[in-house]
Amino acid sequence: MPKRISKPKLDTVQNARRVALESVGVLDALPETPKPTRAMISEVMAEMGRKGGRIGGKRRLETLSDRRRTQIARQAANARWSKKKKSAA
């Protein structure tokens, strides 16, 4: 069954602006904004993730103690080396 897609709800300020522009007749004169495509949305979300990733790593490095950072590194190394290699048959 297809999901129902509802229209985005405007907050009170956006709704008031829309009503005011409609009453004056300006809303018809404004150019319509293009509807976002999946590619546009994906591109924006990827950029946001990249930006947060750049900030997050530095902030995590500052807040972690040396002892905890060593524990994390040791745990990662153990996880890497404990994997069984695939035999080339």
Q: Please give the average pLDDT of every successive group of 10 residues along the chain, which has 89 residues.
A: 67 78 69 73 83 78 90 93 70
pLDDT at 53: 75
Query: Tokens for 58?
Result: 């530095």
Q: Identify whether 3 is part of a domain.
A: no
CA–CA distance, 82 with 77 (Å, rounded to integer): 8
Note whether 43 and 34 are within 8 A (CB): no
Q: Identify whether 62 is part of a domain.
A: yes
pLDDT at 65: 92
Give the structural domain span for 63.
49-80
Note whether 27 and 18 are within 8 A (CB): yes
Number of structural domains in the chain? 1
Q: Identify whether 60 is part of a domain.
A: yes
Q: Identify whether 1 is part of a domain.
A: no
